[in-house]
Chain A
Amino acid sequence: MPYNPSAGREDVTSVSSGAIDFARNLSRRKSAGAKQLLLRGPAVSSDNRTKPEAPVYLEGQILEKLGPSMVLIKTYTEIQSDVPDPLTGEKEKILKIDSHGTGFCVKVVEDSNTGERFAYFATNRHVVPVPSQKIDVTPS
């Protein structure tokens, strides 16, 4: 049987409808990193001397380094409200958050035929537990 790369993909089609909002505000990330840096102070070894071997990153530096790699992931289910809107009479759709977690970028690839770019994010399976859920991905 020839290998069919699209086989077994039926359970991810509903994920495709998930809305992913990529904010581009890097300053927020930088300010978060700066706070950490101020709180933690310099890196010292157990004997209270600065470690001679380099480099030892502070938490703030690690945030700065990893910030562009990290995303906040939320999965949610769209449910219909029981209560009709008093003006329209329609029952509103409500987003019920099922899980939230973190993901990190492991690779960015470009399709040489279409020029489209894709990013792969690793995470836990319990963050993405049910493929029928929708997923939000927000960068740090």
Chain B
Amino acid sequence: MRQVVDSFIDQSSYFRDLALIKVRLEPGDTSPVPVTMNTQKVKTGQDVVAVGFPGHQTALLARRGKVTREEPQNPAPGTEDSYEGAITLGFASDASVGPGDSGGVATDAEGRVIGITGHNDAIGHQPVFIPIREAEVMGKYPEIFMQIQRAFRVDQNLKDHSDTEHEDENLKRLDQRFDIFLNHIVGILEPVKGEQSVMKAILDDRSVRDMFSQFLVNARNKKKYNSIFMAAFGSYGVTPLFEGVG
């Protein structure tokens, strides 16, 4: 018997269909082997192999295909397909994928993971894969991913208990929450602060960026938040929170 000791879904966006579970291994267990990742951008026409447990089988299967679309293609608002579940965030393939493959992988021709299997898209009705390059923090630094998710959850609880009907008051509280959240991130990244490339990869990661976007969606003074963020992390060569805002 093995124990799941932690489980986190990516809260940075409703549409990011990612989760991470942490399992305690028992003495004598053969360790699972971490996958090798290829974080380069996928190209249309490139070979892809989908690997997972389709149907109710317990056998792992691999199926070959091609990347048919490298960018997400979402249905136009107001069309028949524009329901929430139709929003896609990845590349598509003609590889045969079925229920149960969810959470599996797409690999390149050398067996390196390039994507995580999601649901079918609403337009082409083909399987969509979340690029592994957009899940880099979850894949390469899972402990940090979980800690950032926790900090974000703490903030969302704080927000739920502090929102008022007065906009000015809410903006003041947003300042306070941002300060707390940023301090959490600084604390979480303390062990890797000497590693420039790791810091940049984490702070520029899609899920971390989406989290800040969600956090600051009602912010009025974007310049101010950019300044605070860059004062804390600018030396790592990270991208500002808001492009084009001084």
Report if A and B associate in a common complex.
yes
Chain B nearest CB from A60 CB (Å) reads 7
Question: Using a CB-CB cutoff of 8 Å, which residues 1-20 of chain B contact chain A?
Answer: 1-10, 16-20
- Contact: B51 with A66, CB < 8 Å? yes
Classify the interface of chain A: helix, strand, loop or mixed: mixed
- Docked complex Cα distance between A9 and B4 (Å): 13
- Contact: A5 with B147, CB < 8 Å? yes
Interface size on A, residues (CB 8 A): 69
- Docked complex Cα distance between A101 and B104 (Å): 7
- Docked complex Cα distance between A116 and B25 (Å): 7
B4 neighbours in A (Cβ, 8 Å): 15-16, 18, 20, 135, 137
- Contact: A71 with B5, CB < 8 Å? no
Q: Given A70-B51, A72-B53, A105-B34, does the pair A20, B3 have CB atoms closer than 8 Å?
A: yes
A7 contacts chain B at the CB level, 8 A cutoff: yes
- Docked complex Cα distance between A1 and B118 (Å): 37
- Docked complex Cα distance between A62 and B153 (Å): 37
- Contact: A61 with B111, CB < 8 Å? yes
- Contact: B20 with A121, CB < 8 Å? yes
A140 neighbours in B (Cβ, 8 Å): 53, 59-60
Chain A nearest CB from B123 CB (Å) reads 19
Q: Given A20-B1, A72-B53, A103-B103, does the pair A8, B138 have CB atoms closer than 8 Å?
A: no
B116 contacts chain A at the CB level, 8 A cutoff: yes
A117 contacts chain B at the CB level, 8 A cutoff: yes
B-side interface size class: 35 or more
- Contact: B107 with A62, CB < 8 Å? yes
Of A22, A29, A127, A137, which one neighbours B60 at CB under 8 angstroms? Answer: A29
Question: Using a CB-CB cutoff of 8 Å, which residues 18-57 of chain A contact chain B?
Answer: 18-22, 24, 26, 28-29, 32, 36, 40, 43, 55-57
A81 contacts chain B at the CB level, 8 A cutoff: no
Of A9, A19, A66, A118, which one neighbours B107 at CB under 8 angstroms? Answer: A66
Q: Given A69-B32, A101-B102, does the pair A20, B2 have CB atoms closer than 8 Å?
A: yes
Of A12, A29, A57, A104, which one neighbours B109 at CB under 8 angstroms? Answer: A57
B175 contacts chain A at the CB level, 8 A cutoff: no
A80 contacts chain B at the CB level, 8 A cutoff: no
Q: Can you list, as one digit per residue, whether each of B11-48 has a CB less than 8 Å from chain A (1) or not (0)?
A: 00000111111111110011111110000000000010
Q: Given A9-B150, A20-B2, A108-B34, does the pair A116, B24 have CB atoms closer than 8 Å?
A: yes
- Docked complex Cα distance between A127 and B17 (Å): 9
Chain B nearest CB from A93 CB (Å) reads 17
A87 contacts chain B at the CB level, 8 A cutoff: no
